[in-house]
């Protein structure tokens, strides 16, 4: 049997725990208990909870990028790719009954003021989400299916930000309505 | 000299502190030190930090409502009232160099999952912001200055949510660009 990778166990458990409970409300002991590893092992792998936070946000961004890969599937029209992508994102929020929100958004509000390292990773995560959206929106503008009064980059960044706001509101309301409203406004007003 | 109101000192100091540092990163001792009151006095006025959190969010919402009162000034056209209102909101974020964000948004992401009482207050705060926006948008739809393809309530709630997303992004970027983008998209795309 392969030796279990303690660091990986910590990151995987933290991804769930920090996403649902938040960073400051979660102790290192909470994390090692959830990971099923000795408390002392944490500092063999991370110098601080902050360093773990950066790694967890990187991992989350990679996973979001995998969902986002379908935005590049050129067999579907750009608007259909956006509809499908945000549909999956809505269902992903539904899986937590809208209680967890987006780890990127949660860390942005909770930690931007507290941790320069996490803020830097948040900026990079936003940039990669924005780039994915910009590409598909630019394609839609070229083929005429997406309005081009605003540049693709502006629309993409606004879309990424407005999504965060919708997720935040859905978390406060414990309800999907803000997410459905976002998708409706995106497809039928902003990009139409 | 009137006797200083200890409870009011605590609420006023907490409004600044919880807004800038966040709820879980701030201890009761941080609060009583910032308020300049004895630590023991806190529990004479609040049963818990959570109870204080609800009161701070109520106070914040009242203050936001005062800025929002200009949305009802019928001497200006609806779009000009919205431009002026969000212009002031952007400057209010600039005053903290975009580091503090919106207390309502911060509490929504950090505490919705942790405190039913704070989540309930957040929902009420969102409802009151949405109602202010809905009224001015509906006026603009009636006089033909605002597009009416979507109902005023839908546009108002989307606007409130997208603003939260823009503030969240501005906090992560420490930059005003997301807020300026929001105002541009609101006035020149969503409501146009």
DSSP 3-state of B59: helix
Going by pLDDT thresholds of 50, 70 and 90, the confidence category of residue A177 is very high
CB pair distance less than 8 Å for A109 and B113: no
For B76, counting Cβ atoms within 10 Å of its Cβ (0-12 exposed, 13-18 middle, 19+ buried), the class is middle
Residue bearing tokens 């969902």: A67
Q: Which tokens hold the place of B3?
A: 């006797």
CB pair distance less than 8 Å for B21 and A114: yes
What DSSP state is assigned to residue A41? G
Q: What architecture is the A54-190 domain classified under in CATH?
A: Orthogonal Bundle (1.10)
Taking each helix axis from N to C end, the angle separating B78-94 and B177-185, rounded to the nearest 10 degrees, works out to 170
Distance from CA of B41 to the nearest CA of A (A): 25
Distance from CA of A128 to the nearest CA of B (A): 14
Q: Which tokens hold the place of B9?
A: 């000192």
Q: Which residues of chain B have pLDDT under 50?
A: 1-2
B104: left (phi over 0), alpha (psi -120 to 50) or beta: alpha
Nearest to B162 among A110, A165, A188 (CB): A165
Chain A environment of B110 (Cβ under 8 Å): 22, 24-25, 106, 109-110
Domain boundaries defined on chain B:
57-190
Query: Considering the entire predicted model, what is its pTM?
Result: 0.96
Cα–Cα dist A100/A97, whole Å = 8
Cα–Cα dist A57/A45, whole Å = 16
Distance from CA of B1 to the nearest CA of A (A): 38
Q: How many CA atoms lie within 13 A of B128 on its CB side?
A: 18
Residue B4: CB atoms within 10 Å: 11
CA-based nearest residue to A93, from A6, A12, A175: A175
Average pLDDT over residues A164-181: 98
pLDDT number for residue A4: 62
Chain A environment of B160 (Cβ under 8 Å): 165, 169
Q: Is A165 on the interface with B (CB under 8 A)?
A: yes
Helix (H) or strand (E) holding A8: helix A6-21
How far from each other are the two terminal CA atoms of chain A, in whole angstroms?
A: 55
Average pLDDT over residues A93-112: 96
Q: Which tokens hold the place of B77?
A: 């056209």
pLDDT number for residue A17: 97
For B118, counting Cβ atoms within 10 Å of its Cβ (0-12 exposed, 13-18 middle, 19+ buried), the class is buried
User: Interface pTM (ipTM) of the complex?
Assistant: 0.95
What DSSP state is assigned to residue A3? P
Q: With contact defined as beta carbons under 8 Å apart, do B44 and B6 qualify?
A: yes
Q: Using one digit for the tens of pLDDT, what is the confidence trace for B5-59?
A: 999 999 999 999 999 999 999 999 999 999 999 999 999 999 999 999 999 999 9
Q: Using one digit for the tens of pLDDT, what is the confidence trace for A116-142?
A: 999 999 999 999 999 999 999 999 999
The chain-wide mean pLDDT, for chain A, equals 95
Q: Is A149 on the interface with B (CB under 8 A)?
A: yes
Phi, psi of A115 (to 5 degrees): -135, 105
> Rounded to whole angstroms, what are the CA distances from A76 to A80, A86, A139, B10, B137?
6, 15, 11, 57, 36
CB pair distance less than 8 Å for B113 and A22: yes
CB pair distance less than 8 Å for B174 and A119: yes
> B57-190: what fold?
Tetracycline Repressor; domain 2 (1.10.357)
DSSP 3-state of A161: helix
Interface of B with A in 59-118 (CB under 8 A): 99-101, 105-106, 108-110, 112-114
Q: Using one digit for the tens of pLDDT, what is the confidence trace for A31-87?
A: 999 999 999 999 999 999 999 999 999 999 999 999 898 898 889 999 999 999 999
Q: With contact defined as beta carbons under 8 Å apart, do A97 and A171 qualify?
A: no
What are the residue ranges of helices labelled H in A39-187? 42-45, 49-68, 78-94, 103-111, 116-143, 152-173, 177-185
Dihedral sign (CA A152, A156, A162, A166):
positive
B97: left (phi over 0), alpha (psi -120 to 50) or beta: left
Chain A environment of B161 (Cβ under 8 Å): 162, 165-166, 168-169, 178, 181-182
> Rounded to whole angstroms, what are the CA distances from B41 to B31, B33, B127?
11, 11, 33
pLDDT number for residue B2: 46
CB pair distance less than 8 Å for A172 and B24: no
């Amino acid at each position: 049997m392969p030796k279990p990778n303690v660091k990986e166990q910590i990151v995987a458990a933290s991804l769930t725990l920090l996403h649902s409970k938040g960073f400051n409300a979660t102790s290192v002991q909470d994390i090692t208990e959830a990971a099923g590893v000795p408390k002392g092992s944490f500092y063999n792998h991370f110098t601080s909870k902050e360093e773990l936070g950066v790694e967890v946000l990187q991992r989350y961004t990679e996973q979001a990028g995998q969902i986002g890969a379908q935005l590049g599937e050129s067999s579907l029209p750009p608007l259909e790719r956006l509809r499908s992508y945000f549909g999956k994102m809505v269902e992903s929020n539904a899986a937590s009954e809208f209680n967890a929100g987006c780890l990127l958004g949660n860390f942005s509000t909770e930690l931007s003021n507290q941790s320069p390292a996490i803020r830097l990773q948040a900026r990079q995560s936003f940039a990669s989400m924005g780039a994915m959206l910009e590409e598909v929106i630019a394609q839609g503008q070229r083929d005429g299916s997406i309005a081009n009064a605003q540049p693709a980059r502006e629309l993409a960044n606004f879309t990424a930000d407005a999504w965060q706001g919708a997720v935040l509101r859905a978390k406060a309301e414990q309800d999907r309505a803000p997410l459905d409203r976002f998708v409706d406004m995106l497809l039928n007003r902003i990009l139409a």
